[in-house]
Amino acid sequence: MLITATLLALASAAWGGSMYICREKSGAMNFTNAPTGANCRPYSLSQSGGFQATMGGGSTDSTTYDQDIRRIGRQYQVEPQLIKAIIQAESDFNHRAVSRRGALGLMQLMPDTARELHVVNPFNARENIDGGTRYLRQILDNFKGNLTLSLAAYNAGPGLVTRTGAVPEIPETQQYVTKVIRQYKEYKRQNGSDFLLVRE
């Protein structure tokens, strides 16, 4: 059972010890302070105060998920090049990536968001892309297709972007928006555009 990053942070600070993320035979992922075998990897506090870990078996081949990205993109009317640019920025195509805040998988879904999207296994690439793209579609609709605001909302949360009406003055979010748009344009330059559904 996944434990939220906040609880993990509090627990680790209280224990003063290391945390581990372990993969069971069933494929389920669990956090613990007592590793149970070779299927466990360190999940330690970063200097910024959050967690950061990457499980083995991830992929950094940018073409690995192209077929799923195209199919899911068409299903939810989101350009595959945009989905791919977000995946690159979020996880660099590692389907077992875990951020210091506890975001999971290719499109870095927070556990609560994954549950709301009915993503059972965030480390399953197809499930994660499907859930992340559905979430992105919701955000694009909420911000009337405005790509800049939608990307800011994907990174910093829709509530904050709605309240500010602009990209929040958060360096990480500003850099994220710039990075994704740049990569999105590059993918479109390389592969053309299947359809245009967003505006900057």
Among this protein's residues, is 90 annotated catalytic?
A: yes
Identity at 46, one-letter amino acid code: S
Sheet of 20-23, strands arranged across:
29-32, 20-23, 40-42
Exposed/middle/buried for 72, CB within 10 Å: 0-12, 13-18, 19+? buried
Find all residues with CB under 8 Å of 47, minimum gap 6, and list them: none
Query: What is the gyration radius of the CA atoms in the chain, in angstroms?
Result: 17
Residue 109, beta-bridge partner list: 104
**Residues 90, 116, 127, 172: which is the catalytic one?**
90
- Angle 70-72-73 (CA atoms, 0-180°, nearest 5)? 60
Looking at the chain, which runs of residues are DSSP E strands? 20-23, 29-32, 40-42, 44-45, 51-54, 97-98
How do 40-42 and 29-32 pair as beta strands?
unpaired
199 bridge partner residues: 146
Query: Nearest 5°: phi and psi at 35?
Result: -60, 140
Catalytic amino acids? 90
